[in-house]
Structure 1
C-alpha cells in the first residue's frame, strides 16, 4: 500500500497543513482506514473510493474518528489526482458524508464547494473564555460567539486583535469537554485585520478529534467567510476572502474563500488554495 502526504493551503509553496491521501481504497474497511489514519498521525487522511453518484467518493479520518468532510484533505486529494495525471483541470464531484459537492481543479489551485451555511446557537462566552485562559476584554465585542457550519459545526470566537490571538494558550481538556457539550468539532478563533489582502488571522483547536491545533482548516474558514458576509464585513465586491492560519505554529497557511451571492443570499460557497507539488 502506498500513502501520499500533501501540504494543502500553502503560501508561496511553504507552510500549509499536511494531509494523508490514499488511492483506490475499495479493499479497506472503515476499521482499517481508521488504523491507517492513526498510524499516519496527520490531522486528517483522505481515502479515495469509487462512487455511483459522483466522480469520486472520499472518506475522511482523523487519528481518532471519521468526520463528514475535510477541506484541506479534499484540496490535497484533488491536487494529487491532478499531479499524477489521473484527472485534468476541470469540474468534478465528490461524494462525502456532507453530501455530493463540486470541486474545481485549475493548474495552480483547487476549490471545493461546501454545504450552505447554518448559523446556529449564539453562546454565552464565559465558559469559552475560561477554556482559552482569556478575559472578556480579549474579545471583539461587536461579533457574537456562535456555532456555524458549512458541513462541520465549530464554535466561532472573535478575538480583538492578532497579537492577542497569537498569545492564547488554551486548556485543551476544557475545549474537549465544551465541544462534546455543544456537539461541535472544536473552536475557530479569528481576528479581523486591516491589511488589504488579509480578511482575518485564525487559529483552530479540535482536541476532541485528536487535533490540539492545526495550521489550516478549510471547512471552518468557509464558514467564517459566510459569517463575515452575514455581519456585513466584506472588503470587496467580488466576495473573495483571504485567511491566514498557522502563524502561532510557525507554519503559515493561506486559505481562500469565495461566495456566490444572489438577491442578498448566499447561494454557493467555496474554499480553496494552493498545494505543495512534492510528496
Structure 2
C-alpha cells in the first residue's frame, strides 16, 4: 500500500527540537483512512501524530493516532499542529474538532519569537478510583501506598482523555520508574485510561510529572498536554489551588533526557482548563 502525505515533525512544550515531546503532524489528511493514518503513526514511532482535515476558515477536523491505536485527544500534538498551522497561515485562533469535542487553540509569538499555543480543553470531570483498581495500578508500577502523597489522593481525571492521577511523596519515587508494561497496559485498557499522570509537588504551583503510556505502545510520554489539562481539573476538584485564577508550571521529560515545560491555567467561572507551551520544527535529518 502506497501512502502519500506530507508528514511534519515538531517538538512540543519546548523551544529545543531535542526536548519536549515529538509529534507528527499531517496538515491535510484528506483521503487517508484510519489504516493509513495508523501506518504513518507507527512508522514515526512518536506517542501521537495529529491528522488534520480542513473545514471552514481556520477550523479543522483532527484525529490522533499513537503507534498502536487512535486516541480521542492529545495535547502535545494539538500544540504542535496549531504551531505548524500558524507558520503557514499566520498566528491567531484555530478551532479543532476532535473526537472529544471542540478545542480552540490560540497561537502567538512567545519569548524570542518562538510560537506558543494555548489550548482550551473540553469540559473536564474527576471521579473516584476503586480500591481494587488502585491496588492493581500500584502493583503494576511496583509502588506502595506509603509512597504516595496523602495530600493528593488518587483520582481519575478527564479533560479530553482519561488519566489516573497518582502523587508520589518524594521526587526520588517519581524518578525511579520501572513498571510491568503488559500488566499496566491491560489495567489501563480495562479502565479506558490514556496515561497515568504520576506527579510530585515541588511547591504550591510547581509540579514534576511523568506519564506511562503502554496502551499507545510507548513506555513513557515525554510531555503530555491532555494529562496536564486533566490534572488542572483534578487540583481544582480537590480544592488544592486556593483562589482562582491559578497558574501552574509542570516540568516533564527531564527523566527521559527530553525536558519540557507546560503551563496550566484555571480561570474563575470557567471549568475548562487552558494548557500552553511552545513548539518548534524538528529539522529534516535530525532524530526526534
Provide the TM-score with structure 1 as the length reference. Answer: 0.91
In structure 1, what is the equivalent of residue 160 of structure 2? 151
User: Which deviates more from structure 2 when the two are superposed, residues 185-194 or residues 119-128?
Assistant: 119-128
In structure 1, what is the equivalent of residue 25 of structure 2? 21
Residue 129 (1) aligns with residue 131 (2): no
User: Which deviates more from structure 2 when the two are superposed, residues 149-158 or residues 182-191?
Assistant: 182-191
Instruction: Note the residue ranges of structure 1 that are not aligned, 5 or more in a row.
Output: none
Q: SS at 2:268's partner residue?
A: strand
Looking at structure 1, the residues matched to 183 and 103 of structure 2 have their Cα atoms a distance apart, in angstroms, of 34
In structure 2, what is the equivalent of residue 209 of structure 1? 216
In structure 2, what is the equivalent of residue 190 of structure 1? 199
Provide the TM-score with structure 2 as the length reference. Answer: 0.88
Looking at structure 2, the residues matched to 252 and 156 of structure 1 have their Cα atoms a distance apart, in angstroms, of 20
Instruction: Note the residue ranges of structure 2 that are not aligned, 5 or more in a row.
Output: 111-115, 284-288
User: Which deviates more from structure 2 when the two are superposed, residues 222-231 or residues 232-241?
Assistant: 232-241
Q: SS at 2:193's partner residue?
A: coil
Question: Do 1:10 and 1:276's aligned partners in 2 also have CA atoms closer than 8 Å?
Answer: yes
Residue 74 (1) aligns with residue 78 (2): yes
In structure 2, what is the equivalent of residue 34 of structure 1? 38
Question: Do 1:121 and 1:147's aligned partners in 2 also have CA atoms closer than 8 Å?
Answer: yes
User: Which deviates more from structure 2 when the two are superposed, residues 46-55 or residues 154-163?
Assistant: 46-55
In structure 1, what is the equivalent of residue 113 of structure 2? none
Looking at structure 2, the residues matched to 145 and 267 of structure 1 have their Cα atoms a distance apart, in angstroms, of 20
In structure 2, what is the equivalent of residue 140 of structure 1? 149
Aligned length: 272
In structure 1, what is the equivalent of residue 96 of structure 2? 94
The aligned runs of 1:1-279 (5 Å cut-off) are 1-10=5-14, 15-51=19-55, 55-83=59-87, 85-86=88-89, 88-108=90-110, 109-124=116-131, 125-194=134-203, 199-234=206-241, 237-262=244-269, 266-279=270-283
| Deviation by residue 1:156-214 (Cα, 9 ceiling, x = unmatched) | 111102121001211111211111221211311011112x7x52110101201212101
Looking at structure 1, the residues matched to 40 and 29 of structure 2 have their Cα atoms a distance apart, in angstroms, of 11
Q: CA RMSD in A?
A: 1.9
Looking at structure 1, the residues matched to 246 and 54 of structure 2 have their Cα atoms a distance apart, in angstroms, of 34
Question: Do 1:189 and 1:204's aligned partners in 2 also have CA atoms closer than 8 Å?
Answer: yes
Structure 1 residues 26 and 44 mapped into 2: Cα distance closer, same or farther (>3 Å)?
same
Q: SS at 2:150's partner residue?
A: coil
Q: SS at 1:49's partner residue?
A: strand
Question: Do 2:50 and 2:62's aligned partners in 1 also have CA atoms closer than 8 Å?
Answer: yes
